[in-house]
Amino acid sequence: MRGDDLQKRAATAIVWLLLLGMPFWLPAIGGYTELGSRVVVLGLAAMSLNFLLGYTGVLSFGHAAYFGLGAYGAGMTLKYLVPSTSLGILVGTLVGTLAAAIIGPLIIRLRGVYFAMVTIAFGQTFYFIAFRWNTVTGGDDGLIGWTRQPLDFGFAKIDILHNPVAFYYLILVLFALATGCMAWLLRSPFGRTLLAIRENERRARFLGIPVDQHIWISWVISCCFVSLAGALYALLNNFVDPRALYWTQSGDFVIMAVLGGMRSFWGPLLGAAIFVVLQDYLSSQTQNWMSFVGLFFVLVVLFFPRGVLGIIRRRAAA
Amino acid sequence: MTQLVLFNVFNGLIVGAFYALMALGLSLILNLSGVINFAHGGFLALGGYLAFTLIPYVGFWGALIIAPFLTAILGLIVERVLIRRVYGRDPLYSLLLTFGLAFMFEDGTRYIWGAQSLPFQVPGWLMAPLSNEYFFLTGYRLFMVLMVAIAVIGLFMILGYTRLGIRIRAGTLDLETVSVLGVNVRILRNLNFGLGVYLAGLAGVLAVGQLGLQPTIGASLIMPSFVAIIVGGLGSLPGTLLGGLLIGVASGVTTVFFPSATEAVMYVMMAAVLLVRPRGLLGEEGRF
């Protein structure tokens, strides 16, 4: 037990060392800082999805909706309300969380494939709103004409717009807050209850646990952090378009979580890293990158259903 | 105004018929095997493109018969080689697998036939309006409704009166018992998948005459099919049919009064159904 604990801490330490040093070692191996930022942002989204998928056992296939709402919330705040990055992030996160909280009661009683289907379909609603409401959202062309603004603390100003490394560290700080919060929740009695629901929902129900309520809370928490990731994604690109809300984006998040390993806390981050780098590489090499991404999905399902970390762990145990 | 409303109701009915045809195939596969086939849209597009390629050789009528069959054969192969491997595993994996397949199908059709929209030739005499006053009532549109009706009746006949259909229905209720009774469940699931894909292929051939031939046609029709299944009720094929027609007509009517909400209205309907009757209009209690 102690050895296991030690191993976990060592893994966490390695992850943080790699993340903190990313702007230094990534360019050395041919990457660029924006790529690192994208990995961290999409990794946050995948980890938030995994809070629901891997730790509560609820199959959501519509998380792109809340990711996109976070993105549009942030972008529209900066464009129409106030040019403030921190406020944009706040509003984006709130919008996504609120939408999830409202939709939650409609779906928490559904399970399995049915839950997946309904979450996808609800996600499409927001896609069509963003796609059709041209005057406000820019429609298919996306929301343009705004940029993230320098952070102003009064005593110091940080130019996150022109300095990608500074922006990377801002993302990392928020990533640390979000993942820290999720890790803390998972270690709390509430998190243990979620695991109990995942392992045996009927038994949890017989023990008197209000299962639907727990799933609703887990759903809202998961969507909250996904909207945060969406807000950061918008700021990273200085642009949002309806594809951030499209159902294929939801599929990308799920594959990231599965690829890295659903039963491990850091797995989805690793999955996001592999996915982002692969997509970046493929789309620069071939026009038919979609086929390769599709093939990649098929291969992961057939040969790596436990994910990279799942396989490593199994090897270590054997 | 009346004419405009009538036009859009009729249009909605046609689009709804496509949704229903596609959703019926999805429903068949979902009910028996518990797999949501994301690649269904890809099969639909393939049906349309195959018909496009076949028309110069066998004519429209030949293509209408052959293309869905070829699509179904590909469906049988895909089920045999890939989908079969994820039965009995967490539904997550079948979702991801068919999701990946959908990507490959869409990109594959784009690779073979090109990204731009292609002209799809329908016999001229079918395209002529039947009435001067109701200009939208072309022969082709009536023909499509008729074909969908025949396909749906045919499907229900198969399910109701043939040995295969009865086994499919029994398997939907309790696959294990059917297996114990000596039915080869692997073959049953395979044929059932093929039947579902056949419906997608047929919908594809009919739809491209109306909606145009593009690689994205499958992706644009699959979400409404999901909504049709949810609105109609999981596990109920008549419900799926009803759901498809309902959302088609609803978006048709919305086009008249509030065009920008054409797509959104079906999702609003879905939310309303889930709120009032979570199992769907004709769904069975406690199935999911």
Residues of B in contact with A301 (CB under 8 A): 86, 93, 96-97, 100
Element (H, E) at B198: helix B185-211
Q: pLDDT per residue over B235-269, tens digit each?
A: 888 999 999 999 999 988 888 888 777 778 888 88
Cβ contacts (< 8 Å) between A118 and chain B: which residues? 230, 270, 274
B130 touches B137 (CB < 8 A): yes
For residue A1, pLDDT beyond 60: no
The position carrying tokens 């909606």 is: B211
Which uninterrupted H or E stretch holds A78?
none
Q: Which residue has the higher pLDDT, A54 or A314?
A: A54
Distance from CA of A59 to the nearest CA of B (A): 7
State which residue of chain B sits closest to A292, comparing Cα positions. B104
Closest CA to A231 of A94, A102, A63, A126: A94
* Residue closest to B237 by CA, chosen among B25, B87, B58, B12: B25
Give chain B positions within 8 Å (CB) of A122.
Answer: 267, 270-271
* Mean per-residue pLDDT over chain B, rounded: 86
**Tens digit of each residue's pLDDT (9 = 90 or more) over A238-252:** 888 888 888 889 989
> pLDDT grade, residue B136 (50/70/90)?
low
Of A98-107, A271-280, B270-279, minimum mean pLDDT range: B270-279
B51-66 as b/e, with b when 16 or more CB fall inside 10 Å?
bbebbeeeebeebbeb
Q: What are phi and psi of A157, to 5 degrees?
A: -125, 130
Residues in A closer than 8 angstroms to B277, CB to CB, are none
Of B86, B105, B288, the CB nearest to A112: B288
pLDDT-derived band at A226 (thresholds 50, 70, 90) equals very high
pLDDT for residue A127 is more than 80: yes
At B130 the pLDDT is 65
For residues A44-53, average pLDDT = 94
Q: How many angstroms separate the CA atoms of A98 and A105, rounded?
A: 12
- Read off the pLDDT of residues A291-308 as tens digits, 9 standing for 90 and up: 888 898 899 888 888 888
Q: Which of B235-267 are b and which e, b meaning 16 or more Cβ less than 10 Å from the residue's Cβ?
A: bbbebbbbbbbbbbbbbbbbbbeeebbbbbbbb
Cβ atoms within 10 A of the Cβ of A140, count? 12
Note whether A59 contacts B95, CB cutoff 8 Å.
Answer: yes
What residues of chain B, 221 to 260, have a C-beta less than 8 Å from chain A? 223, 226-227, 229-230, 234, 260
A28, two tokens: 């050395």
AA letter at A178:
A
CB of A269 closer than 8 Å to CB of A260: yes
Asked whether the predicted pLDDT for residue B287 surpasses 60, the reply is: no
CA angle, residues B61, B63, B64, in degrees to nearest 5: 65
Instruction: Tell me if B196 sits within 8 A of B204, measured CB to CB.
Output: no
Q: Which residues pair with B118 in a beta bridge?
A: B213
Span B91-110, mean pLDDT? 89
Interchain contact B95–A (C-beta under 8 A): yes
Predicted TM-score (pTM) of this structure: 0.89
Among the partner residues A59, A111, A298, nearest to B288 by beta-carbon distance: A111
Q: How far apart are CA A68 and CA A74, in angstroms?
A: 10
DSSP three-state, residue B240: helix
CB contact (8 A) between residue B263 and residue A128: yes
Instruction: Kindly report, residue by residue over A192-217, the tens digit of the pLDDT.
Output: 999 999 999 899 999 999 999 999 99
In B114-138, where does DSSP find H-type helix? 124-127
Taking the C-alpha atoms of residue A223 and residue A246, their distance in angstroms, rounded to an integer, is: 16
Phi-psi region of A241 (alpha: psi -120 to 50; beta: other; left: phi over 0): beta
A74, pLDDT greater than 90:
yes
pLDDT > 70: percent of chain A: 98
Contact assignment for A295 to B104 by CB distance below 8 Å = yes
Q: How many residues belong to chain B?
A: 288
CA angle (A47 as vertex; A42, A50 as ends), nearest 5: 130
Nearest to B234 among A114, A128, A248 (CB): A114
Element (H, E) at A248: helix A247-260
- Give the residue with greater pLDDT, A316 vs B242: B242
Q: Which residues of B touch A111 (CB under 8 A)?
A: 288
Q: What's the pLDDT at A135?
A: 82
B85, B91, B274 ranked by CB distance to A106: nearest: B274
- Asked whether residue B131 carries a pLDDT value surpassing 70, the answer given is no
Rank A21-35, A185-199, B201-215 by mean pLDDT and report only the highest: A185-199
pLDDT band at B118 (very low <50, low <70, confident <90, very high): confident
Q: Is A316's pLDDT higher than 90? A: no
A111, two tokens:
């399970």
Check residue B117 and give its pLDDT: 79
The whole-angstrom distance between B182's CA and the closest CA on chain A is 28
- Tokens at B212, concatenated: 């145009």
Q: Which residue has the tokens 């008729």?
A: B146
The whole-number pLDDT of residue B5 equals 81
* Residues near A213 by beta carbon (within 8 Å), at least 6 away in sequence: none
Are B140 and B208 in contact by the 8 Å Cβ rule? The answer is no
| Cβ atoms A72, A81 nearer than 8 A | no
Q: Given pLDDT bands bounded at 50, 70 and 90, which one contains residue B135?
A: low
Residues in chain B with CB shorter than 8 Å from the CB of A114 are 234, 288
CA distance readout (Å), A187 to A181, A184, A262, B170, B213: 10, 5, 17, 45, 53
Which pLDDT belongs to residue B133?
A: 62
DSSP string, A151-168: EE-SS-EE-TTT-HHHHH
Residue A107 one-letter amino acid: I
Mean pLDDT lowest among A222-226, B40-44, B127-131: B127-131
Over 60: is that where the pLDDT of B284 sits? Answer: yes
**CA A177/CA A171 separation, integer angstroms:** 10
pLDDT at B25 exceeding the cut of 60: yes
Angle at A279 between CA A278 and CA A282, to 5 degrees: 85
**Which chain B residues touch A290 with a CB distance below 8 Å?**
103-104, 106-107
User: Rounded mean pLDDT of A69-75?
Assistant: 93
Lowest mean pLDDT among A140-144, B155-159, B242-246: A140-144
Rounded Cα distance, B271 and A30, in Å: 48
Q: Which of these, B105, B32, B78, B71, lies nearest to B200 by C-alpha position?
A: B71
pLDDT in tens, B102-116: 989 988 988 888 888
